[in-house]
């Protein structure tokens, strides 16, 4: 029927036969389903499994407006920027102002992008602005100037629709989908479902208790990984392997030392960067593989300087 499973927060099973030991059977029999249009309208909704008392089924609570999770804004490069006029100039200006230092280039680029986007940082906002302008034009007397303006607004509207499609396509994380005007709704629905799966509104701690407070969830994550790294002791390789292990290992010929220690050339670096997944997970600085690949003429010199500094320091 084309329904979407809204997922859940809380215990995994909603039904139990209330038997003990090996006789126990638990299943997730109760689910909250919706149409795609409902999920897009209430894209912040969340489903919670509540404790059961008199019944052998857990009650299900759907909140259309749960307590918002205030996530820290993280800079991420957007593919649709390539379709917006002036993006090449932003990249070139950042490369010049950064004095060919990659860290400075990134900082200048982020500042430049923020200023360049202005009050319409996403295609949805740009689309609303153009639609408002079109409503005003449609209400005016139709003369040659108004007709020309309508034509320009229609072209701009189609261009922004393509930006919007790229915007949601990137968030849907689908590599096989083909670009087309009818895909935006599908990408939007996929992105909503993906965001719903990735949103953590409750987490169970080591003591078995569930916490839903944002700060408590953050503390659980931090303490969990702290415990992991405390337990994982690392020993020097000399203590793990004896000298006998390395007796039959052949050394690297001296003739190969020069090649192995040489700095990568521009061609080698560019070829390696082109093998990156264009829309795969971005680095902590928010730069995607696609941005580096498409804007190599602007960012290439700063990247090569950073690569050279790395090999000199190692």
pLDDT of residue 68: 59
Distances in Å between the Cα of 196 and the Cα atoms of 191, 223, 266, 277 are 8, 25, 42, 25
Percent of the chain whose predicted confidence (pLDDT) is above 90: 9
R_g (Cα) of the chain, nearest Å: 27
Q: What are phi and psi of 72, to 5 degrees?
A: -70, 130
* pTM for the structure as a whole: 0.55
Regarding predicted confidence, which is higher, 185 or 224? 224
| pLDDT above 70 (res 184) | no
| 230-255 tens-digit pLDDT | 765 666 665 656 666 666 667 777 77
| Sequence spans of domains, the chain | 4-66, 79-198, 201-231, 232-279+291-313
Q: Is residue 171 within 8 Å of residue 165, measured between CB atoms?
A: no
Among 122-131, 162-171, 187-196, 246-255, top mean pLDDT goes to: 122-131
Query: Is the per-residue pLDDT at 55 higher than 60?
Result: yes
pLDDT of residue 307: 87
| pLDDT for the residue 185 | 62
- Report the alpha-carbon distance of residue 101 to residue 306 in Å, rounded: 7
In this prediction, residues 145-165 reach a mean pLDDT of 86
Q: What's the pLDDT score for residue 246? A: 65
Average pLDDT, the chain: 80
Look at the alpha carbons of 18, 24, 26, 29 in this order and tell me if their dihedral is positive or negative: negative
Q: What is the pLDDT of residue 181?
A: 46
User: How far separated are the first and last CA of the chain, in Å rounded?
Assistant: 59
Helices (H), 173-276: 184-198, 214-231, 237-240, 254-261, 266-274
For 80-131, the pLDDT digits (tens) are 898 898 999 999 999 888 676 888 998 899 999 989 988 778 888 888 888 8
Q: What is the dihedral of CA 129, 133, 139, 140, to 10 degrees?
A: 170
Q: What is the pLDDT of residue 89?
A: 92
CA 28, 32, 35, 37 dihedral sign is negative
- What pLDDT is attached to residue 79? 86
Report how far residue 263's alpha carbon sits from residue 101's, in angstroms, rounded to the nearest whole number: 18
């Amino acid at each position: 029927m084309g329904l979407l499973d809204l997922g859940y927060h809380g215990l995994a099973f909603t039904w139990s036969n209330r038997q003990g030991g090996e006789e126990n059977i638990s299943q997730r029999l109760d689910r909250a389903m919706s149409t795609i249009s409902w999920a897009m309208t209430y894209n912040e909704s969340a489903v919670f499994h509540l404790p059961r008392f008199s019944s052998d089924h857990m009650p299900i609570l759907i909140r259309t407006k749960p307590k918002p999770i205030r996530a820290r804004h993280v800079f991420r490069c957007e593919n649709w920027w390539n379709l917006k006029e002036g993006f090449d100039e932003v990249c070139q200006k950042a490369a010049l102002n950064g004095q060919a230092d990659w860290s400075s280039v990134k900082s200048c680029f982020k500042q430049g992008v923020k200023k360049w986007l202005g009050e319409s940082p996403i295609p949805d906002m740009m689309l609303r602005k153009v639609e408002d302008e079109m409503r005003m034009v449609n209400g005016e007397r139709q003369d040659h100037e108004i007709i020309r303006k309508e034509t320009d607004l229609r072209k701009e509207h189609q261009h922004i629709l393509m930006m919007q499609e790229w915007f949601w396509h990137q968030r849907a994380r689908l590599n096989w989908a083909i670009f087309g005007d009818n895909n935006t709704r599908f990408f939007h629905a996929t992105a909503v479902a993906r965001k719903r799966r990735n949103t953590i509104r409750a987490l169970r701690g080591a003591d078995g208790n569930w916490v839903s407070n944002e700060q408590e969830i953050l503390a659980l994550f931090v303490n969990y990984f702290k415990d992991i790294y405390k337990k994982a002791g690392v020993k020097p390789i000399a203590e793990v392997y004896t000298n006998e292990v390395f007796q039959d290992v052949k050394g690297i010929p001296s003739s190969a030392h020069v090649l192995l220690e040489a700095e990568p050339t521009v061609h080698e670096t560019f070829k390696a960067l082109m093998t990156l997944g264009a829309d795969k997970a971005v680095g902590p600085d928010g730069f995607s593989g696609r941005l580096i690949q498409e804007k190599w003429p602007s960012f290439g010199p700063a990247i090569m300087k950073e690569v050279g500094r790395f090999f000199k320091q190692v």
